[in-house]
Structure 1
């Protein structure tokens, strides 16, 4: 998959960081944060590009992937605060408390084109799935209206396949042509357990076309 991105090289003190964003907004994709359940809702374009962005993050250990989602079209269902998304390897050295300062120093950025390797993503996702007792999980937290997922190559690859599945099969669900959302997948077993117990955290991944719904046709119709 070819991704059109914008690349930034902000500095905090003596440290330079590499941050990338989608080249154009995911206008009809949103993320609501309401512990313990978050809801990510998107159309085919948004979910497909999220699959690509997670795949890109999986192979970019020193890059911070920032997906602004708060300024898109607000969804007409769900509850909880609208938040942005940041995906980064542990090796990127990102501290969520430092993100607001980093975000303010992004500037205009430069265009970047990247290509993901779906076969490699599938291999790494399968490796994560086949190692149930010794595999990396996603650290997750919300800070400054941003939801952070920090992990490693294999778990990001597995998450990428969840978004790809939602993008590919969501349009086939009955009811979506009338504006109904379809639950497609979730991030739950990929997330680190909640401290102190309680209900495990989960991010629901839902497909929903954007209005007016007359423009949308289910595949095969």
Structure 2
């Protein structure tokens, strides 16, 4: 899978960071937080793009992958909050509390085209439940952004959830059926992300 991105290299103090963003944010995608769940609503192009960016996070351990999903003026539905998304490798040890300042220094960035493998690896489900398993996601919400921190393996094994929704969601929706995937792999404090296919977009309104 090939798609365009912009690469930014902002600095905070003496340290330079690499931030990768899609050249064009997904047009029909929302990430919504309520009291207990994280819900992602996507159409086919958005699901494919986010899956590609998820896979990019697996091969870019020194970068923060930023997916802008909020729109100007978004207020979200009652009781919910719309979020952007940042994917990063745990070895970066980046503090979410610094994100707002870093985001303000991104600038225009440089355009590049990246290639990401979309083959879905076989998952050892039994190993995920071992006490010594370190391939887990950790989540933080800060500055209207969900941070998903994990290992290359965790990102590689879960990118396929988005590709699955992109491939199979349109056919199910045509028959008025719900199609979704549940993205887990988190530690005890992490919430699963419910990824739901939707082609019912009206302007910037969230699917209902």
TMscore range, shorter length: 0.7 to 0.9
Counterparts of 1:113 and 1:89 in 2: how far apart (Å)?
21
What are the superposed Cα offsets for residues 51-93 of structure 1, whole Å, 9 maximum, x if unpaired?
100111101100100000001897x989510110000001223
RMSD after superposition: 2.5
1:191 has 2:190 as partner:
no
CA distance, structure 2, for counterparts of residue 72 and residue 118 of structure 1: 31
Secondary structure at 2:139 match in 1:
strand
What is the rounded CA distance, in whole Å, between the counterparts of 2:124 and 2:87 in structure 1? 18
Go from structure 1 to structure 2 and tell me whether the alpha carbon gap of 1:77 and 1:209 turns closer, same or farther (over 3 Å shift).
farther
Any stretches of 5+ residues in structure 2 without a counterpart? 203-208
The question of 1:172 aligning with 2:168 is answered no
Q: TM-score, normalised by structure 1?
A: 0.82
Given the superposition, is the C-alpha separation of residues 155 and 77 from structure 1 closer, same or farther in structure 2, using an over 3 Å criterion? same
Conservation of the 8 A alpha-carbon contact between 1:53 and 1:65: yes
The 3 A distance-change label for structure 1 pair 40 and 73 is: farther
* Structure 1 equivalent of residue 197 of structure 2: 207
**Residue 149 of structure 1 corresponds to which residue in structure 2?**
148
Matched-pair contact (CA < 8 Å) for 2:33–2:82: yes
Conservation of the 8 A alpha-carbon contact between 1:51 and 1:162: yes
SS in 2 for 1:149: strand
How does 1:9-88 map onto structure 2 within 5 Å?
Answer: 9-71=9-71, 80-88=80-88
Q: In structure 2, what is the Cα distance between the partners aligned to 1:182 and 1:79?
A: 23
Alpha-carbon deviation of 1:36? 2.0
**Contact 2:118 / 2:160 at 8 angstroms: preserved in 1?**
no
Pair 177,72 (structure 1): closer, same or farther in 2 beyond 3 Å? farther
Contact 1:181 1:206 in 2 (8 A): no
Structure-2 change in CA distance of 1:19 and 1:187 (3 Å): same
- CA distance in 1 between counterparts of 2:15 and 2:192 reads 33
Unaligned runs of 5+ in 1: 195-199, 213-221
**SS state at 2:108 partner:** coil
SS at match of 1:66: strand
